[in-house]
Structure 1
Amino acid sequence: MNDDQDRRPQADAAEPARDDACENPAFGHAADSEGGVTLSYAQYEELKALAGERDEYLRRLQRAVADYQNLQKRVERFQDAARQVALRALADDFLPVADSLGRALEAAANSEGGAGMIEGLRLVEHEFYRALAGVGIRPIEAVGQPFNPDYHEAVLQMPVKGVPTHTVVQELKKGFLLGETLVRPAQVIVAAAPADETIDSPDADA
């Protein structure tokens, strides 16, 4: 009996002391059975708050990036619009020069001994149109093209043998585009139906 009593305290002493931290998470963190870390409630709440702050900063950053991109697009649109206005003013100033060159070429072609002058004028005209093309201004195709009210202004209609109706047969004044924007329409003469042709109308059979 005394021997059992003597051994019991030793057995009790052999049991490892329990750490209150393992029983109650509020006392800190302790290793779990898989070697991970168990956080206290206070630590969990702190991490949760930090995660919320992180998400808020991320949302602010994303909004700032979106605002910057929108601002950049607005600036680019403004720059493009300002450039178009400047080029339109340039076109308005220089298109009369193109008209003068055209008239000079026509006059030289109708004059005697104007071959040398024509060659020189054509060189000037070529360089002039190349300079306009460099800033996006180009002449509108007219002669031989179907009449297009978006780009052509019909000054006169006349029947022309062998030419389809509504075809541009002569250009009186060149038209120009700035990119895809009309600067001025080409003034043209358009082929009309011959007078002896009859065009059926919806009322003809009534």
Structure 2
Amino acid sequence: MQEEKEVVNEEAKAAEQSEEAKTEQDAAKAEKKDAKEAEKEDKKSAKFGKKKKIEELEEEIVKLKEEAAANKNAYFKAYADTENLKKRLQSESDNVRKYRIQSFAMEILPVLDNLERALDVKVDDQNVKNYAKGFEMIYQQLVHILNQEGVKEIEALDKPFDPNFHQALMQEAKDGVESGMVIEVLQKGYMLKDRVLRATLVKVSE
């Protein structure tokens, strides 16, 4: 009887140990499964975080590219504006040098007109003729100075009338002359280089 009891106890003990081992195995499996799930979640979370970081970086790259393009456009606009300003200032400076004598020439032209009228008067008195020679020398000197500065007389007589250079004050029919020709210069006109300083006053054939 005692032996049977011992056998039962040993079997119960063995069963208990087997149950404990199974429980430990189940616990180990569950722990391993939990570890795998946790690792899976960590990987998933890491993947999501990495994807989000990539998206943020891509957005930042797009933003930086837009800023770079805007800065580039602003630079080229500023550069173009600066170059245009330099060209305009240079052009204005060139024009100032080129036409610097314009105001002076406009004041001198009436003096030339008066000298020409005086020299056109025919005189017999020798003393007056001597004065006339002096006036002529002054006239020639003024013309020479103006020529050196680019002031030239506009050729008009016997030329076709050109409103860009001539101003018609009178019209008159003239035999043998076609219509629209300058038949008389009433007041000389002048150019300052490529600019009309004063238009020629003319009589034009009908």
TM-score (norm 1): 0.53
Deviations 1:44-86 (A, max 9, x none): xxxxxxxxxxxxxxxxxx9999887655433321212333563
Structure with greater helix share of residues: 2
1:82-112 deviation per Cα after TM superposition (whole angstroms, max 9, x unaligned): 33563221122111111112111211xx323
* Pairs aligned (count): 150
Provide the secondary structure at the position in 1 that maps to 2:171. Answer: strand
Distance 1:76 1:126 in 2: 35
Cα 1:83/1:65, change in 2 over 3 Å: same
Name stretches of at least 5 consecutive residues in structure 2 with no aligned partner. Answer: 1-75
Relative to structure 1, is the Cα distance of residues 65 and 111 closer, same or farther in structure 2, using a 3 angstrom cutoff?
A: same
Partner residue, 1:199: none
**Matches for 1:42-61 after TM superposition, within 5 Å:** none
Structure 2 residue identity aligned to 1:96: P
Name the CA shift for 1:67/1:159 in 2 (closer, same or farther; >3 Å).
closer
Sort the Cα spacing of 1:168 and 1:178 in 2 relative to 1 into closer, same or farther, 3 A: same
2:184 is equivalent to residue 170 of structure 1 = yes
1:111 paired residue number: 123
Q: Extract unaligned runs of 5+ from structure 1.
A: 1-61, 193-206
AA partner of residue 134 (structure 1): Q
Listed as ranges, the matches of 1:30-49 within 5 Å are none
Return the alpha-carbon distance in structure 2 between the equivalents of residues 143 and 70 of structure 1: 43
TM-superposition CA deviations, 1:111-152 (whole Å, max 9, x none): 23649836861x433322221121111111111111111111
Report the residue type matching 1:117 in the other structure. Answer: A
Aligned-CA RMSD value:
4.2
Which of 154, 160, 179 matches 1:146?
A: 160
Name the larger-Rg structure.
2
Distance of 2:173 and 2:131 partners within structure 1: 35
Q: Percent identity?
A: 30
Does structure 1 retain, via aligned residues, the 8 Å contact 2:180–2:205? yes
Confirm or deny: 8 A CA contact 2:159 2:181 kept in the other structure: yes
* 1:99 is aligned to 2:113: yes
Counterpart of 1:136 (choices 150, 155, 160) is 150
